[in-house]
Structure 1
Amino acid sequence: MQAKETLFADLMQGRTQQFQVPLYQRTYSWTEKQLKQLWNDIAEQAGLVESAEDKGSTHFLGSVVLAPSPQNDATFPRWLVVDGQQRLTTLSLALAAIRDHVAEAAPSEADRINEQYLINKWKTGDDRLRLLPTQADRAQFTAHIHGTVTGQGAGSGVATAYAFFRKKLVEAEDPAAPQDVFRIEQAITSRLALVAVTAERRDNVHRIFESLNNTGLKLSQADLLRNYLFMKLEARGEHIYTTYWLPLQNSLSNDELEQLMWLQLVLDGDDRVRRQDLYAAQQRRFEEKKAGDEEIEAYIRKLHRRSAHFRRLLHPEEEPDPSVREALRRLDAWQASATYPALMLLFDRRERGELDSAGMVRALAYIESFLVRRMICRVPTNNLNRIFQAVPGQLPGDVPVAEGLHRLLSSENRFWPDDAELRQKIRTAPFYQYGRWQQRKLVLQRLEESYGHPEPVDFAAAQLTVEHVMPQSPGDEWLRALSEEADDAETPEELHARFQHTLGNLTLTAVNAELSNHPFERKQDLLRGSHLEMNRRIAATERWGVREILTRADELANRAITLWPAPLRGVGRAERNRDWQLAHEVLAALPHGTWTSYGDLAAFLGSGAQAVGNHLANTPGVINAYRVLTSEGRVSDGFRWATPQDEGHADVRARLTADGIRFTASGAADPVQRLTADELASLLAGTDDDRADGEDTAQHETAAAPEAETRAERFFRQLAADDSAETVEAVRAVFTHWESLGGWIGHGAGHVTTSAYLMLGEAGAPGRGIWPMTLYPGAGRGGTAEVVFQYMAAREPFTDRALRAEFLTRLNALDGVDIPDGKLELRPNIRLSLFEKDSNRTLLLEALTWFRDRWDSRNSS
């Protein structure tokens, strides 16, 4: 037996050979959770390659156990993959995605990747594959490796993984943080370390497999570093432990202490170190300096001193200066942990007398503005950690601290939007679809505070939610009003989709839901009685349509420009390119069997449908561009393939059919498979979306004050205001059955719309619960049950797509339900009125029972 560390490149390339996954192995089963973690590791290694830093530090991916195949021969070595097939399959699919991503612009490079890692060029049939998966995965894997995936369909883990990497490669082209695709290839092939255990024929490879997977509880990085420090200390160890370390350890949790230790490294200039490499990095620093007791004591005293600074980030109420305290509270509410290196630097400079509290408030305002303006303008957050980790080492020393921070954050490639971009995005961007709910609420809160109301609202006590003035589900009166503003190129529905989520149409309110979808005239009475100045101003207008939304957007933009300072002038930008980058990302994420329209894509971008059409027609290489159709589901008369290679697919309908799009008798794409602007937004939000933590928001009822309305009562009152008594009773029956299965009904805190979650698992235990559906009152359009496939995908056992597909099949058995397979990645709706029918309710209860049984079997296994 031989065990050695190797790299994917060394294992796979260089000669004709094959790695065979035995038929008894399980099928490919990595889910988005594992894929995301791997991608983060790849991206981090690609960054190290690009910066030419830490060349010797690879990322350990795991083990691969190999044994000679019975089919092995001297001229064509074949190996059985006893352990590690998930890693090898995933990396092969990632390289296939890179090959296809560069095929148009660099065909010779695509051929190189193919021949080095994926195929045996001179072999045929199954022997042509460098990796031969188990029989169940073979057809899908072969189709992706040979580039014949069109028409293969979706549904397998292999197809999901390949699509994941195609989407990530498009995201990597983001101008705010561009990544070189060949650096990514280099990270995969030469920066991911594997331990290859190669057995002889007589070795017990299964015993090897068991020993490699026998894991125990690991010490944290903080534990390892603490042990190292006090093993090195000699004479003064007990004094240092009692005086400095014990108070430090008592003031912070172990996780917080580890974070502080990592921040200390960053402040000392090691701005590229990963938190999981903290121990090794700090140990190396001590060894290089030949540190003795004096240096180690100085380090621990520094940690002790800076722990007070760190606690103020975690607990802003401990900051004595009221202005600084308020600024820290806003950043804490924003969940701005990425900014901690910069904030710790500001505390340190203030303590050293290089910055007073007024200057610190100014510096914190720049940081808040940087975050808020980027969020409003939809700049991706994926480079925030790098930006703020670099602050201690890059802060200019020739100007005061706050001004230096202003200059640094304004520099090229930081993408701090200027006033012109901020104003334009407030007018057109779908603000409600970006950022997290607490960030959107904070923006609206700050705008309300800017009016200087003589009796300010207590936002901490007020139960305010974000309200759409023009509702998300407009009734006929709203649509008639919009038709007066629509032109021939845009329907009232498309106009509504384009402006409903913009900042000019949003406000804060605590009013009840009965009037939330009613005409504007009825809303005015509620808004006039509001204590919020922004609501009184909305109520003072005579009507509410696109003109009023844009007028209010301009007013809010003026206030935003005053609230959040601008970057310094003179920085070159590429905002429009970034908008189109967002379009490329969402089209790359379109699930198999779905399409969208020019209007939907325009509403998602905050653009116009004609501009979208022009861009797609004139931009080569946009994945799935042909799946953008007219609102009627037809290929646009002006459609043309953007590249000569695509012209071989002259029959667009045939290409769409191969991608799972169904067509009606009239020749239009099936409207059930169409993705709206909101669903496009959900595709990029993934399982990180606001409502992904249903077990946090869907709490059991707490004891209510006498005569106070409970959340459950509010839910049913809102439901009854819009749906029939039969629907209300059907919902009650579903709830009763769910509770008889051992589940519980949780309710969201919303007053405008109070949701109901069908929950399993322990109440109040984040990450441990699961829910198949969330029910919403209709507020004018009829109540719906949202089937949360998107969130199931992050929770066992429903990370298995086959289980989600089975649940979909059971729901589609209900009369009137037709959810396409493509929406297994999303949150499709079912009308609650369908539950009135006895046979439908029986089928639903059977489906819910099946869901509970799958959950129970997972927890009891």
Structure 2
Amino acid sequence: METKVRTPHEVFFMPQRLLVPLFQRPYVWTREKQWSMLWEDIRRHADLRRQGRKSSPHFLGAVVLQNQSASVGNLPYWTIIDGQQRLTTMQLLLDAAHQALTLVGADTLARQVEDLIRNPEHFCGSSEDRFKVWPTNRDRAAFNDVMAAALPVDYTILPHRDSRMTQGHQFFSEAMTDWLATGAYESRAEALTHVLLNGLQLVVIQLEADEDSQEIFETLNARGTPLTAADLIKNFVFQRLDLPAAESEASYEKHWKLFETAFWENEVGAGRNAMARSSLFLNQWLIAQTAENIGVREVFSRFKYFVTHDLDAAVGDLLPAIHRAAIDYQSWTETARVKDGVLDRLTLFVYRIGALDSEATKPLLIWLRDPALEPVAADVENRFLTHLESWLVRRSLLRLSTQSYSDLVALLLQELKENPRQDAATVTERVLREQTSGNLYWPADEEVRTWLATAPIYRRLRRGRLRMVLEAIEDHLRGYDSDRPSYAGQRVARDHHAIEHILPQQWQTHWPVDDVASRLTRDNHVHVLGNLTLLTRGLNSKVSNGPWLGETGKRAYIAQHDVMLMNNDVRAVSADGWDEQKIDERTEHMTRAILEIWSTPAGHAGIHSGIATQPSSYIGVDALISEGLLKVGQTLIGRGRTSDVQASVLPDGSLQVEDRIFESPSGAARFVKKRKINGWTFWAVDAANGIRLDDLRSQYSLQFGVDVANDDDQESEVAE
């Protein structure tokens, strides 16, 4: 290993090829985080040189190169083990400088810069040899387009004009062109060229072909844009494969490339964390293999140990296994997103645990459908999923702690691995029934029935969870989850309908009562299960706070425009009105349906010890409206750099941003910021005075003496 401090001139001048391995991640630097700061440093040093003032070279960081014994034509060939973002950016920067210098007539200086970008023709055996740095597979087309474009580059016609490669080149070109044009270009061109060639420094670590590059790669990972667990695992696996370049690339195309698509790169929630779906999947896949509780920060280190010490098969057999599991995983996830139509038992389970935010149970599904193992019989799989779903839903209804779910999944996997696969349902039932701690027990019928009889469930559950429960009740009435044929012909549309209060939240106008006791009783019935139903969003807005009876009342509109069986039952018993007694009776009927849908084994007692309940309330925007803290139609403003973004408050408490409607502040904020974010602190009610939506929620909490639990970060967009 040789380590030297080098300038760009020393790094790039000699004919050579610096190749980014296909298993490296794509180019990720951006204007906001890297390009602007790099250009400002270069400009500052160039200005100092023009003023005749000395400055120390600007340090860009370290790169690791590994010599390859095989050559590419007559060119020395190095693999970029670490630092591809820096080296690729330097090439974009130098090529943009070549263009800027050429356009102002500084041809000699432009040729000096060009020598650091392109290899002489007589060294090039193919078109790919002309560039001294050659990116990973995913970025090559965009890199080649912009680097080979005729001058001056017309960025608007480039096939990959939206890529970061093109955007970076355009940014540097425009910045340098503008700077050169602000004064005497001769002195500015000389100063800029000097800084680019000799005023920057890199620590270059050069490894011989037989040296272990992985350790250095992992050590340097803390710098720059952090690598994900998937990035590290990809690098580790392909290094271990040690295949010829063509075979390695073929393996990448066949088994890994899918992880670099939008589905897998999207960030998803994992408890309180957010991570790329590819990294989360690899975490869950590893848990399925090891039957251990592996934290999201431990994924790579445990994967490395697993491959080194636990894996019986060759590393080459690992990629196909991971790929097959990933294909299944993506299929379940995407099918579960479809709002209409039939779902098989497993994809219905995936949809429902998505509503419950229970990513912790996904390793069980990976184990269940592992193509390398004996297939589990369909009836066994159905019972396995039914037991697990019952345990999850019942605990969710009671708002019980989820903090030990990963421990339970690991324990269950251990038991499943020690028993025949066809006993999966029996083992799962036994393990769940054996749990007695408050964090893991399986609630019995009586506890669920007692809780739902009076619980303000609308204030206890996040909207997506509550909607899923109401959908399940409707499907139950339609004959699903039983051996009976469907009475309605299809399942209710999923994650689509609005949750409606039959007795409205603002009942005082059209549903008055005479005395204080009656008002308190009515208030206590507004948010219970029997007063909630599903309606289309259009119908929900139409009938929201109106009276029940009369030609323009809720009952008449529902009779004319609604097809829900649960609402047929409501209309059948409410010809003379809707009151607290009918709400209690409907709560009992709906609870009975819940206990049938998510049943427990005969005789299950649900015995447990310790404190299990979480009595905090879910406070939505609708609650703030009902108490006059917010007004319908009021405009919320994004905070910080998104102050030009507005959200409008709709009557049911949802927020409209542009032409899209979101059920929660966090869902709307995530649409704006393109990442997981707390919408309650993002949206400002009064930007001038710094009043946030969260401040109104705190006011509500103090006024009514309730603890607030707004776990709404996963709320989805609502279809219009």
Query: Once the two structures are superposed, what CA deviation does each residue of 1:228-248 show, in whole Å capped at 9, x if it has no partner?
Result: 222233357854652466433
2:521 corresponds in structure 1 to 495
- 1:505 maps to amino acid: N
Q: Give runs of aligned pairs for residues 706-717 of structure 1, distance below 5 A.
A: none
Does 1:362 find its partner at 2:383? yes
In structure 2, what is the Cα distance between the partners aligned to 1:400 and 1:575? 29
Query: Once the two structures are superposed, what CA deviation does each residue of 1:696-734 show, in whole Å capped at 9, x if it has no partner?
Result: xxxxxxxxxxxxxxxxxxx9xxxxxx9xxxx99xx79x8
2:256 corresponds in structure 1 to 248
In structure 2, what is the Cα distance between the partners aligned to 1:224 and 1:790? 29
Q: Does the aligned pair in 2 maintain the 1:377–1:425 contact within 8 Å?
A: yes
Q: Give runs of aligned pairs for residues 375-774 of structure 1, distance below 5 A.
A: 375-395=396-416, 397=419, 400-412=423-435, 413=437, 414-452=440-478, 454-456=487-489, 459-460=492-493, 464-475=497-508, 478-480=511-513, 483=515, 491-510=517-536, 511-521=539-549, 522-529=553-560, 530-541=562-573, 542-567=576-601, 569-570=603-604, 572-574=606-608, 577-579=611-613, 582=614, 681-682=618-619, 743=644, 745-747=646-648, 766-767=669-670, 769=672
SS in 2 for 1:466: strand
- 1:448 maps to amino acid: E
Does 1:295 find its partner at 2:314? yes
In structure 1, what is the Cα distance between the partners aligned to 2:527 and 2:343? 37
Q: 1:307 to 1:556 in 2, by over 3 A?
A: same
In structure 2, what is the Cα distance between the partners aligned to 1:524 and 1:321? 32
Q: Does the aligned pair in 1 maintain the 2:291–2:411 contact within 8 Å?
A: no
In structure 1, what is the Cα distance between the partners aligned to 2:655 and 2:309? 58
- Compute the displacement of 1:466 (Å): 0.6
2:392 corresponds in structure 1 to 371
Q: Does the aligned pair in 1 maintain the 2:444–2:600 contact within 8 Å?
A: yes
Q: 1:259 to 1:471 in 2, by over 3 A?
A: same
1:216 corresponds in structure 2 to 224
In structure 2, what is the Cα distance between the partners aligned to 1:428 and 1:756? 33
Return the TM-score normalized by structure 1: 0.43
In structure 2, what is the Cα distance between the partners aligned to 1:369 and 1:560? 10
In structure 1, what is the Cα distance between the partners aligned to 2:511 and 2:321? 62
SS in 2 for 1:507: strand
- Compute the displacement of 1:823 (Å): 5.2
Q: 1:241 to 1:493 in 2, by over 3 A?
A: farther
Q: Give runs of aligned pairs for residues 143-158 of structure 1, distance below 5 A.
A: none
Q: 1:308 to 1:742 in 2, by over 3 A?
A: closer
Does 1:347 find its partner at 2:369? yes
2:681 corresponds in structure 1 to 793
In structure 2, what is the Cα distance between the partners aligned to 1:445 and 1:332? 14
- 2:373 maps to amino acid: R
Q: 1:792 to 1:746 in 2, by over 3 A?
A: closer
Q: Does the aligned pair in 2 maintain the 1:469–1:505 contact within 8 Å?
A: yes
2:330 corresponds in structure 1 to 311
Match of 2:358 among 326, 331, 336: 336
Q: Does the aligned pair in 1 maintain the 2:289–2:367 contact within 8 Å?
A: no
- Compute the displacement of 1:298 (Å): 2.9
In structure 2, what is the Cα distance between the partners aligned to 1:576 and 1:537? 40
Query: Once the two structures are superposed, what CA deviation does each residue of 1:806-859 show, in whole Å capped at 9, x if it has no partner?
Result: 435xx9xxxxxxx9x9857356999xxxxxxxxxxxxxxxxxxxxxxxxxxxxx
SS in 1 for 2:612: helix
Q: 1:572 to 1:792 in 2, by over 3 A?
A: closer
**Stretch moving more, 414-423 or 549-558:** 414-423
Q: 1:504 to 1:351 in 2, by over 3 A?
A: farther
Does 1:271 find its partner at 2:292? yes
Q: Does the aligned pair in 2 maintain the 1:444–1:508 contact within 8 Å?
A: yes
SS in 1 for 2:534: strand
Q: Does the aligned pair in 1 maintain the 2:622–2:652 contact within 8 Å?
A: no
Q: 1:829 to 1:754 in 2, by over 3 A?
A: farther
Report how many aligned residue pairs link the two structures: 431
In structure 1, what is the Cα distance between the partners aligned to 2:653 and 2:242? 64
Q: 1:329 to 1:461 in 2, by over 3 A?
A: closer
- Compute the displacement of 1:353 (Å): 3.2
In structure 1, what is the Cα distance between the partners aligned to 2:400 and 2:227? 37
Does 1:825 find its partner at 2:698? yes
- Compute the displacement of 1:691 (Å): 9.0
Q: Does the aligned pair in 1 maintain the 2:499–2:534 contact within 8 Å?
A: yes
Query: Once the two structures are superposed, what CA deviation does each residue of 1:740-770 show, in whole Å capped at 9, x if it has no partner?
Result: x97455457x7867756799xxx99853749
- Compute the displacement of 1:519 (Å): 3.1
Q: Does the aligned pair in 2 maintain the 1:426–1:504 contact within 8 Å?
A: no
Q: Does the aligned pair in 1 maintain the 2:501–2:532 contact within 8 Å?
A: yes
Query: Once the two structures are superposed, what CA deviation does each residue of 1:37-60 show, in whole Å capped at 9, x if it has no partner?
Result: xxxxxxxxxxxxxxxxxxxxxxxx
Q: 1:463 to 1:764 in 2, by over 3 A?
A: closer
Unaligned runs of 5+ in 2: 1-219, 266-275, 479-485, 660-665, 704-720
SS in 2 for 1:520: coil
SS in 1 for 2:443: coil
In structure 1, what is the Cα distance between the partners aligned to 2:584 and 2:325? 47
In structure 2, what is the Cα distance between the partners aligned to 1:575 and 1:498? 30
- Compute the displacement of 1:340 (Å): 0.5
In structure 2, what is the Cα distance between the partners aligned to 1:379 and 1:324? 24
- Compute the displacement of 1:368 (Å): 2.2
- 2:530 maps to amino acid: G
Query: Once the two structures are superposed, what CA deviation does each residue of 1:647-686 show, in whole Å capped at 9, x if it has no partner?
Result: xxxxxxxxxxxxxxxxxxxxxxxxxxxxxxxxx543xxxx
- 2:429 maps to amino acid: H
SS in 1 for 2:690: helix
Query: Once the two structures are superposed, what CA deviation does each residue of 1:380-409 show, in whole Å capped at 9, x if it has no partner?
Result: 333333333443223362671122122222
Q: Does the aligned pair in 2 maintain the 1:363–1:402 contact within 8 Å?
A: yes
- Compute the displacement of 1:578 (Å): 3.3
- 2:242 maps to amino acid: E
In structure 2, what is the Cα distance between the partners aligned to 1:506 and 1:451? 16
Q: 1:237 to 1:341 in 2, by over 3 A?
A: farther
Q: Does the aligned pair in 2 maintain the 1:457–1:532 contact within 8 Å?
A: no
In structure 2, what is the Cα distance between the partners aligned to 1:804 and 1:390? 50
Aligned residues: percent identity? 19
2:209 corresponds in structure 1 to none
In structure 1, what is the Cα distance between the partners aligned to 2:672 and 2:497? 26
Return the TM-score normalized by structure 2: 0.51
Q: Does the aligned pair in 2 maintain the 1:515–1:523 contact within 8 Å?
A: yes
Q: Does the aligned pair in 1 maintain the 2:500–2:540 contact within 8 Å?
A: no
In structure 2, what is the Cα distance between the partners aligned to 1:556 and 1:765? 31
| TM-align CA RMSD | 4.7
- Compute the displacement of 1:444 (Å): 0.7
In structure 2, what is the Cα distance between the partners aligned to 1:553 and 1:804? 42
Query: Once the two structures are superposed, what CA deviation does each residue of 1:242-300 show, in whole Å capped at 9, x if it has no partner?
Result: 246643332563533323322232122252221222121222334446x79x6322332
